[in-house]
Chains A and B, each alone.
Chain A
Amino acid sequence: SQQGEEDPQALSIQEGENATMNCSYKTSINNLQWYRQNSGRGLVHLILIRSNEREKHSGRLRVTLDTSKKSSSLLITASRAADTASYFCATPSGSARQLTFGSGTQLTVLP
Chain B
Amino acid sequence: EAQVTQNPRYLITVTGKKLTVTCSQNMNHEYMSWYRQDPGLGLRQIYYSMNVEVTDKGDVPEGYKVSRKEKRNFPLILESPSPNQTSLYFCASSLSTPGQGYEQYFGPGTRLTVT
Chain A residues engaging chain B, CB cutoff 8 angstroms: 1-2, 30-31, 33, 35, 40-45, 48, 50, 88, 90-104
Decide if A102 touches B109 in the complex (CB within 8 Å). no
Q: Is B103 an interface residue (CB 8 A)?
A: yes
CA–CA, A92 and B111, complex, Å? 26
CA–CA, A59 and B111, complex, Å? 33
Closest to B90 in A: A42
Chain B residues engaging chain A, CB cutoff 8 angstroms: 4, 33, 35, 42-45, 48, 50, 56, 58-59, 88, 90, 92, 97-101, 103-109, 111
Decide if A42 touches B108 in the complex (CB within 8 Å). yes
Decide if B42 touches A102 in the complex (CB within 8 Å). yes
CA–CA, A103 and B50, complex, Å? 25
| Residues in chain B near residue A100, CB distance under 8 A | 45, 59
CA–CA, A30 and B101, complex, Å? 8
Nearest CB in chain A: distance from B84 CB, A: 19
Decide if B104 touches A98 in the complex (CB within 8 Å). no
Interface of A is mostly: strand
Decide if A97 touches B97 in the complex (CB within 8 Å). yes
| Residues in chain B near residue A98, CB distance under 8 A | 33, 45, 48, 58-59, 98
CA–CA, A30 and B98, complex, Å? 10
CA–CA, A32 and B4, complex, Å? 22
Nearest CB in chain A: distance from B113 CB, A: 14
Q: Choose one: A1, A42, A93, A96; the contact of B109 (CB below 8 Å).
A: A42
Offer 28 A-B interface pairs, CB within 8 angstroms, sorted by A: A30-B99, A30-B101, A31-B98, A41-B108, A42-B106, A42-B107, A42-B108, A43-B43, A43-B90, A43-B106, A45-B105, A48-B103, A50-B101, A88-B42, A88-B43, A94-B58, A95-B99, A97-B56, A97-B97, A98-B48, A98-B59, A98-B98, A99-B33, A99-B98, A100-B59, A101-B42, A101-B44, A104-B42
